[in-house]
Every structure is written in structure tokens, then in C-alpha cells.
Amino acid sequence: MRTFVHRPALLAAFCALAAGAHGQSPINFTNNLGNGLYDANNWEGGPPPSAGFAEVGVIGSGALPTAVASIGTPVSTNPGGLTLGGGVGNSGTLNITPCGSLQVVSGGPANGTLVVGGGGNGTLAMTGGTLSAQVIDTNGASSAVRLSGAATLTSAGATTLGATTRITGPTVNFSSAGDLTLEASHTLIAEINAATHSPLKSQSNAFINGALNVEFVPGFSGTSWVLVDAQNVIGSFNAINITGGPTLESGQFYGTRQGGSGANGATLELFLDQRLTLAVNRDTGQVSIKNPGSSVTVNIDAYTVFSPGDAIAEGAWNSLHDQGGGAPAWTESNPTANRLSELRAIGSEAIGPAGQRTLGAIYAPTVAGAFGDTSYEDLSFSYRNTAGATITGAVEYTGTTGINNLTLVVDPATGNAQLRNTSMSTVKIDAYAVKSAAGSLDATDPKWNSLDQQGIDGNDWRESNASANLLAELKAQGTTELSPGEAYNLGQAFVPGAVRDLDFTFRAVPVALAGDYNSDGAVDTADYTVWRDGLGTTFVQSDYDAWKNNFGMTGGGAPITYSGVVTYGAVPPLVIGAIGGGAVPEPGGALLALAGVVGVWMARRWA
């Protein structure tokens, strides 16, 4: 049992022996007289642990498996080690406030290590004050280090972070003289509330892994923040999650990049970047490289437009080389129907906010396939920035020509929406749903002018539980037929200026397949036999071409849920003679199920 008698000078001759004995056992925090870390009565067997006797303090172990200790003033006795959460099932927390300070130093076999999560769950929370150790090691999914205010946490040697580290604001000082390692299990939470942020610093190497969670809070500003400052930065985060930031403009994103100019040499910073987009007009075939943002200039020295389906009219290409009068800055690379590329040998091309570079009427797809198939819209776009990174830009289609689908046309300025058949097929629908994760829909009366309210086709369309996230309707009996070009106005169903994240699905009776002459839902060799036997009576020679062009297609049968196309732009007038009108899409795709109550209704109806 520990006593005070080993401290007097008369036992100095036995200090080495005492140090060895005490170094074999941890000294557990008991919390007998409150949570003061260095109250002499709060430790098992006697006074607080001391490096002079090679003693290691443990908070959260022994008789007190769940313990909370605090430091609010300078501590004069330095432990030879400190563990928070010692052992499975135990939990230890240390709170340090602005006036508190503690040094964990080496002494004999105790090497001065601060362990947060020593088999159990550990938490170090500093709203200020200072804590130094020879080595820092954090472990465990539930363990955490939380630093804010003017908190200072330093390691004289290596630092290994395997738990969660939260850094709040620009005034925290976290530094390691040795290597800083962020393990795969580690999550760095950067709570950003200013134009700058407190980095994790190392005078040696920083090895980066794990996740980065960024939490923007009111008061933040700026477009870049240093997260790591080290002699060398090696690796990167395997996941980046952003919350609380402003709504980003089209093409904007937050990323990380390495650079120099740090106090220790190299940096890893979070930054707001702008991606270029490829604007494609279906109606005219015109294609442009655009900077959709309003604040960031993008510099490029190479780009590629690619189409695996040969949708490029290379003869109409107005290259940057041609636009420069044949100047040698840009060089073309063997244009083909599936690839256009240019490389700038000298310098870079600066595309400022709202700027664009027109490439000509190069979009010329061959529209084919079954209804709902928009796979022919296959353009991709990439470019190289001045840092040498290849960036994939978004492809944004406008116009309605050639969309082999139903299209939801939305005017983002007015909120007007329209359901239009932009295909060359007659489509019969009995349900549709428009979804918005961001709550961009306006379900208030009379903004959404539903088919139910318009009394369309027997007045038996029924609205679902409309909200800012979902507008949906189901037809109780039969279907509503939309011929090519026919449309229905749906009122101001979109909140003007809101996030453009709409998803449109609908339920349709499959369109009869051209070439499916035996009406079995597939174009195959059996249909050729039907055509051959009926040639000159039921069929003509051109019907063979329809069979040949659609051979292998399937369809027909039970009603199908389709993914429609959403376009953003001016809503066109309704077709004369039609009931109700198409505009700027993002590719639709494969069949998927309508969500929510509409899916339930349809399941009941078609059961």
C-alpha cells in the first residue's frame, strides 16, 4: 500500500527501489473529494502520481471505472504517464479549463505517455490551458480529444491519433515534435468559425488517413483553411464530409490539397474549388466549356470531350487552337467522333466566373432504343488544372430535342413546372412523383396545380401527402395518355432560386415496341417470321428496317416505373390541341421504384 513515508529525504537511499516498485502498477483516480485531479485524497494509496517515482495516473479504472477529473490551476506534481479510460468497460475523462496546466514527463520506466483510450473510452476536453506529454496516443471508436479556445496540447515526441479529434476555431495550438500519424480509424473534426483554422502541427512528418468531418458554424468566412502543417505531408483523407456550409454554386465543391508555406514546411488545406462544366444544347448541338460560378477563376491547360457512342460531330469543332488563329498555345489531338482533345504547351487558359469557351455544334447523337433509354446522352468531360490534376467536370444538357422520355420542365426563376412528352412515342401514365431532398418543392395551394385539381381524364387523379420534399399523384382508374409533344402545366411547383435537386419518376403502361410483330414484348427472330409471312399484305419492306433496328429490345407487359428527365429552363408553350408542355435535363436512367405512399397505392392497385 502507498503511503507518504517514501517521500521524506531520509528514504532517499531507497528512491530507486521505490521507483521500480511503483512503476509496475498504475495509480488509479478515486474521486474521493471531488474531481480535482491533483487533490492528494483523490488517488489510491496516497498522493498524486509522480514521475519522480515512475508513477502513471489512470482515470477510469479500478474502484472507479467511470471517472471525471478536472484541472483549473497549474499542477506542480508531474506524473510519469497518464491514461484516460484504462481497460475494457472503463471510461475516463479529463477536463482542462483556461487556467489549468499539466506536464506528463518521463521518469524511470514511465515514459511520459498520454493515452486517451487505454483499452476503455477516454475523453480529453480542453477549453483552454496547457497539457504536454512526451508521447500522445489516442485509441477507440468512442474516445475523443476536444480542443477549443486557446487550448495547447503538445507532444515532445511522436503523436498517434486513432480516435476522434475535434478542433474548434483558430486559436488552438496542437503540436508534435515527432511524427504525427492519423490512423485509418481516426476522424478529424474541423469546426470552422473564422477565416482561419487551427492546424495539427508536426515538426516532422504527418501521415494522413481516416476521415475528415468539416462543420461550418456561423461567423466563418474565407475559402481555404490549413488543417495540417508539417515538414512533410504524406497521404490523404479517405472521406470528406461537409455540414453547415452555405449552398454551393453550380460546380463548386470542397476538397483538400497539399501545398507549401507552412510554419513547418508543407500544409494540407481544405479549400473551396470550382469545377468547370460542359454545357450541351440538345436543340442546337452547341457545346461550351463553362465556369458556372461567380467568384473563382479556373485555369486549365488541357481538356477532353469523350463519347463512347460516337455522338461527336468532329467536323463542326471550333477548337481553342482555331479560335486563337492557329496560335501554337493550344494543340489539337486527332479529332474523332468519340473524342476531342486539346493540350496547351505554354501557360494556361483562365476561365473566369461566368466565363465560357464555345466549341461549336459538335453534339450529334443518334437517338435510338426503347422508350426511356437515354444512354445515347453519353458525353463526358475532363480537364487538367495547373497543379497537374485531372478533374472530371459535370455535363449539363439543355433543350428538349431528342429526349426519348417524359420530361419535367422547371423554370428555376419563376418556379413554373411542366410535364411534357419529349419522346416520339405515345405514353400512358397512371402515377408520378417529384422528390427533392433539399425541400425545393412548393406544395401550397394554389402553387402546385395538380392533375387532380385540373380534373384531368375523369377527375380521378388523387394527390398524395404533398410536402416540400414530395409531390405525387395516382390515377385511380385507367391511364392518362400523352402523345409526342403533349404536356401538362403543373403550376409553380418549384420554389424560385431553390436547390436544383429534383428527381422525377412515373408509372407507365409500356409502349409497344417497333418491330414486335407478335406482341410478345420482345423483338426477336419470331417477329421476322411474322413480317416475312405478312409481307405485301400486313407489312411493307420498311417494316423490316424497324425490326432490324430494334432487334433485341424488350418491353410491353405490366406497368413499369421509369426514371424521367428533369430540365431547368424556360417552360415552353403548350402544344396546340394538347391539354397541357419540356426544357433542360440531367440524364434519366434505369427503371426505379416510386417512393412513399404512391408506391403503396400502386402496389395495392396492381396486386
Distance CA 93, CA 63 (A): 15
Distance CA 425, CA 403 (A): 11
Q: According to the model, what pLDDT value does residue 341 have?
A: 98
- Dump the DSSP string for 153-202: EEESS-EEE-SEEEEESS--EEEESS-EEE-TT-EEEEEE-SSS-PPEEE
Q: Which residues pair with 545 in a beta bridge?
A: none
Q: What angle, 0 to 180 degrees and rounded to 10, lies between the N-to-C axes of helices 525-534 and 541-549? A: 170
Taking the chain, what is the end-to-end CA distance rounded to the nearest angstrom?
77
* Dmax (CA) of the chain: 123
CA 407 to centroid of chain Cα atoms? 27
Nearest in space to 591 (alpha carbons), one of 463, 405, 419: 405
- 10-residue averages of pLDDT along the chain (607 residues): 37 34 68 78 88 93 90 93 94 96 93 95 98 97 97 98 98 98 98 96 98 93 94 96 86 88 93 94 95 91 97 97 83 96 93 96 86 88 92 91 91 96 90 96 93 92 95 93 94 94 91 77 89 91 90 74 91 61 30 40 38
Which residues, at least 6 apart from 381, have a Cβ–Cβ distance to it below 8 Å?
Answer: 276, 277, 278, 289, 303, 304, 305, 306, 392, 393, 394, 395
Asked if 129 contacts 152 with a C-beta cutoff of 8 angstroms, the reply is yes
If phi > 0 it is left, if psi is from -120 to 50 it is alpha, else beta; for residue 303 that is beta
Q: According to the model, what pLDDT value does residue 394 have?
A: 92
Distance CA 569, CA 397 (A): 11
Domain 277-398 class? mainly beta
What 3-state class would DSSP assign to 321? helix
Q: According to the model, what pLDDT value does residue 32 have?
A: 67
Distance CA 139, CA 114 (A): 11
Q: According to the model, what pLDDT value does residue 25 have?
A: 67
Which residues, at least 6 apart from 565, have a Cβ–Cβ distance to it below 8 Å?
Answer: 374, 403, 405, 406, 407, 408, 422, 504, 585, 586, 587, 588
pTM of the model: 0.68
Residue 325 CB neighbours (<10 A)? 6
Asked if 85 contacts 60 with a C-beta cutoff of 8 angstroms, the reply is yes
CA 209 to centroid of chain Cα atoms? 17
Nearest in space to 471 (alpha carbons), one of 421, 408, 565, 411: 408
Q: How far, in Å, are 171, 172, 263, 534, 553 from residue 191 at the CA level?
A: 12, 11, 21, 74, 53
If phi > 0 it is left, if psi is from -120 to 50 it is alpha, else beta; for residue 604 that is alpha
Q: According to the model, what pLDDT value does residue 327 have?
A: 66
Q: According to the model, what pLDDT value does residue 326 have?
A: 67
What 3-state class would DSSP assign to 46? coil
DSSP state of 405: S
For every residue of 122-151, which 3-state class applies, written as one string? EEEEECCCEEEECEEEECCCCCEEEECCCC
Q: According to the model, what pLDDT value does residue 399 have?
A: 85
Nearest in space to 598 (alpha carbons), one of 459, 481, 433: 433
Which residues, at least 6 apart from 10, have a Cβ–Cβ distance to it below 8 Å?
Answer: none
Q: According to the model, what pLDDT value does residue 555 have?
A: 65
Q: Which residues pair with 596 in a beta bridge?
A: none
Q: Which residue has the cell 443518334?
A: 366
Distance CA 42, CA 49 (A): 11
Q: According to the model, what pLDDT value does residue 514 have?
A: 82
What are the sequence ranges of the domains in the chain?
Answer: 4-273, 277-398, 406-511+556-605
Q: According to the model, what pLDDT value does residue 12 have?
A: 36
C-alpha cell at 114: 498520454
